[in-house]
């Protein structure tokens, strides 16, 4: 199946942002570990969060969907049936979080996933956990899923190299309140995507498990468990970025509601990038508005802390009046797809050439004819970024548009309801 969008200009739209995927995963995990009943309000319902819900149910948490999610916690004592196998499909967050959480189970747990998931590394996390009571072993390729998680989460001192993914640190942090002793976690190198660690710490504190920290290099967590809570998930800046990008390239105004203007989400930086490119950005109590006349400037920016909006910026850059250089992107090769390759393909759709080095890419407008058909390779962010280019040009086809189910099932409907399509 393919989708072809007509070119539009002069957008005037108001769209509600979906709930944050990152916050939803973490709130569900904290609630499942708590001793008592929690309510996760306004959660994201998507393929990825569905993986986490199914996994937590397999580990003994009672989760009822009433629109909100009512979670009967386990007190950090998970139960696993003999031969328990959890399929994480293509959800990297689920896989990495569960590697640590499964050490709280009373029996070994096998974690597997899609073909692409089996190419995404977990070794830095596994190595660290195996120093504090884990007996985790690889079932196929060393360093990658599937894995069999056995042993216990004792706590204590551990070192995790999170330079490839902050999820390795977040995983250990979220299990730490249920460990036997205080956990002190250090990282030898600066973590990737540091803002996600802020999200992890924020959710843990809300559920009664504060994290003591020294910047992003040393974290301490007491083994006092989680407390049940009523938690409302805030809107997602990653998903909102596509609508802001549409305003930038198609001209006009887009207001996105259900956003926290003071959020610690790293992808909020996309708004400042659009300002640098020439857009006007204003914030309300729970909304952000972007207005553009289409006159955009190329910029140079480091995006190691906001990897999920690199593709969105790559969709805007072809329509600027000069090159855009993005640095800090080395780790994009190990996402849901090779997103460095996807940057090149998105830029080409817009008629721009992308010159990629080890840790940077420069997108130069007007070097290629543009248009054509793109296969997102089952990557939701590639599909949604391609929609930005398609709405500007009108000569772009997107194969398998349903892959947005991973993070934003209502994406195409939101475009229609917002009057953009």
Active site residues: 308
User: What sign for the dihedral angle of Cα 364, 368, 373, 378?
Assistant: negative
Backbone angles phi, psi at 255, to 5 degrees: -105, 130
Tell me which residue has tokens 């399509």: 421
Helix (H) or strand (E) segment spanning residue 305: none
Tokens standing for 44? 């994201």
Strand partners, 332: none
Give the Cα separation of 248 and 275 in Å (integer).
10
- DSSP, residue by residue, 196-248: HHHHHHHHHHHTT---EEETTTEEEE-S------EEEPPB-HHHHHHHHHHHH
User: What sign for the dihedral angle of Cα 51, 53, 59, 65?
Assistant: negative
Closest CA to 245 of 381, 356, 360: 381
Give the Cα separation of 56 and 158 in Å (integer).
25
Give the Cα separation of 207 and 149 in Å (integer).
26
Are 68 and 39 spatial neighbours (Cβ–Cβ below 8 Å)?
A: yes
Residue 413's Cβ-count burial label (10 Å; 0-12, 13-18, 19+) is: exposed
Are 76 and 100 spatial neighbours (Cβ–Cβ below 8 Å)?
A: no
Are 253 and 290 spatial neighbours (Cβ–Cβ below 8 Å)?
A: yes
Closest CA to 308 of 93, 77, 110: 93
Give the Cα separation of 146 and 131 in Å (integer).
20
Q: Which residues contact 85 (CB under 8 A, 6 or more apart)?
A: 109, 110, 111, 112
Are 95 and 113 spatial neighbours (Cβ–Cβ below 8 Å)?
A: yes
């Amino acid at each position: 199946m393919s989708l072809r969008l007509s070119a539009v200009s002069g957008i005037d739209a108001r769209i509600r942002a979906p709930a944050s995927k990152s916050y939803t995963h973490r709130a569900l995990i904290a609630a499942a570990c708590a001793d008592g009943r929690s309510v996760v309000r306004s959660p994201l319902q998507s393929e990825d969060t569905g993986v986490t819900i199914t996994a937590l149910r397999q580990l003994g948490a009672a989760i009822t969907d009433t629109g909100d999610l009512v979670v009967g916690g386990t007190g950090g004592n998970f139960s696993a049936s003999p031969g328990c196998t959890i399929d994480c499909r293509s959800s990297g967050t689920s896989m990495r979080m569960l590697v640590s959480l499964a050490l709280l189970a009373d029996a070994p747990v096998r974690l597997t996933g899609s073909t692409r998931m089996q190419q995404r590394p977990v070794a830095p996390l596994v190595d660290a956990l195996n120093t504090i009571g884990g007996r985790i072993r690889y079932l196929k390729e060393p360093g990658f899923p599937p894995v069999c998680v056995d042993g216990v989460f004792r706590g204590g001192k551990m070192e995790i190299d999170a330079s490839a993914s902050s999820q390795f640190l977040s995983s250990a942090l979220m299990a730490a309140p249920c460990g036997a002793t205080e956990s002190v976690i250090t990282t030898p190198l600066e973590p990737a995507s540091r803002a996600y660690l802020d999200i992890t710490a924020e959710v843990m504190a809300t559920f009664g498990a504060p994290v003591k920290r020294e910047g992003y290099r040393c974290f301490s967590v007491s083994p006092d468990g989680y407390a049940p809570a009523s938690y409302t998930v805030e809107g997602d800046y990653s998903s909102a970025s596509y609508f802001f990008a549409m305003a930038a390239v198609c001209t006009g105004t887009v207001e996105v509601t259900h956003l926290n203007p003071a959020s610690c989400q790293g992808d909020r930086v996309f708004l400042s990038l659009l300002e640098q490119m020439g857009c006007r950005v204003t914030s309300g109590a729970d909304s952000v508005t972007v207005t553009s006349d289409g006159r955009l400037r190329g910029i140079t920016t480091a995006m190691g802390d906001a990897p999920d909006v690199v593709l969105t910026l790559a969709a805007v850059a072809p329509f600027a009046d000069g090159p855009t250089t993005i640095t800090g992107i080395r780790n994009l090769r190990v996402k849901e797809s090779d997103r460095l390759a996807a940057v090149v393909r998105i830029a080409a759709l817009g008629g721009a050439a992308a010159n990629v080095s080890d840790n940077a890419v420069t997108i130069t407008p007007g070097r290629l004819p543009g248009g054509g058909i793109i296969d997102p390779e089952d990557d939701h962010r590639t599909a949604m970024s391609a929609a930005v280019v398609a709405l500007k040009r009108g000569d772009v086809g997107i194969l398998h548009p349903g892959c947005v189910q991973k993070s934003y099932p209502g994406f195409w409907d939101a475009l229609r309801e917002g009057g953009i399509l």
